[in-house]
Amino acid sequence: MPKSSRIIIPVGAGDASSYVRAVEQIINATIQKNKSEELMVVKIDNWFGSRWLDFSGKIMGLAGVCKQRRTVPPFVPARVISQRRFSMSTRQEVSAGEPLHIGVTGGKSLTRYLDLIEPRASLVWYWGRTAENKRGSVMVYVPSQEGYFTWYASLAAGDDLKVVECHGITAAELACLLNPESGEEVRLNA
C-alpha cells in the first residue's frame, strides 16, 4: 500500500459515523505532520474526560498524579474495545503487539513510561458508543524532542460536530485537522 493511503477506522456498533470519520481525519492529518515510526489507536468503551490527559495514576488511591515524563494513561483493560497498530512507512496495519493497557496497581502505573513501552509510536485514544452519548473525545500523544506533545478534544455529535472542550490544542487548530484543505498550519509537536 503506498504511503499516501489513509488509515481507516471502522464504525462499530453504537458509534456515530460522523464522529468516527472525524477521528479518522484527525489521525490521518496528525500522522502527516509527525515522524513517528508507528501509530497505535486505542478505542475505549465509553466516555473519558480531559482529566485523562497526561494522567499517570494515583498515589495511595487518593491523589491523582500527572508526571512530566509521560506514562501510559491507566485505563482499566476491560475498557479497551480495540488496540490497533500501524506502520507509518506503509500505512498498513501490523500486529497490535502486547496490550498497552494492563492491570496494574496505582504505584506501578506511575512508572509505565511511554518512551520505554512505545518509544516509536504516536498514540491516539478515542471513545466508543458515541451514537447514544451524542459526544465523543479523542486524546493524542505525539513523540517530540522534549517527550510527548499531548492534547485532548471533546466533540458533540449532531447534524455537525461541535467542539466542546480542548486542552493542548486550540479549537482553530482542531478545525484545521478536521479540514486540511483550509491551508492553515497546525503545530503537532513541541
- pTM of the entire predicted model: 0.89
CB 123 within 8 A of CB 75: no
- Residue partners of 141: CB distance under 8 A and separation at least 6: 70, 114, 122, 123, 124, 148, 149, 150
pLDDT for the residue numbered 2: 47
Q: How far apart are the first and last CA of the chain?
A: 30
CB 153 within 8 A of CB 138: yes
- CA separation (Å) from 14 to 20, 38, 171? 11, 28, 26
Q: What length is written for the chain?
A: 190
Domain ranges of the chain: 17-182
Nearest of 156, 154, 147 to residue 123 by alpha carbon = 147
| Cα–Cα distance for residue pair 49/168, rounded to 1 Å | 14
DSSP string of 98-134, one letter each residue: S-SS----HHHHTT-BHHHHSTTEEEEEEES-HHHHS
**pLDDT above 70 (res 162):** yes
| Cα–Cα distance for residue pair 182/100, rounded to 1 Å | 35
Span 50-109, pLDDT tens digits: 999 999 887 655 556 777 789 999 999 999 999 999 999 888 999 999 999 999 876 788
Say whether 51 sits in a helix, a strand or coil.
helix
Q: Which residue has the higher pLDDT, 123 or 179?
A: 123
Q: The C-alpha cell of 56 is what?
A: 499517570
Cβ count within 10 A of residue 43 = 21
Q: The C-alpha cell of 178 is what?
A: 478536521
CB 148 within 8 A of CB 114: yes
Q: With cut-offs at 50, 70 and 90, classify the pLDDT of residue 116.
A: very high
pLDDT for the residue numbered 31: 84
Q: Which amino acid is at 56?
A: S
Span 9-29, pLDDT tens digits: 999 999 999 899 999 999 998
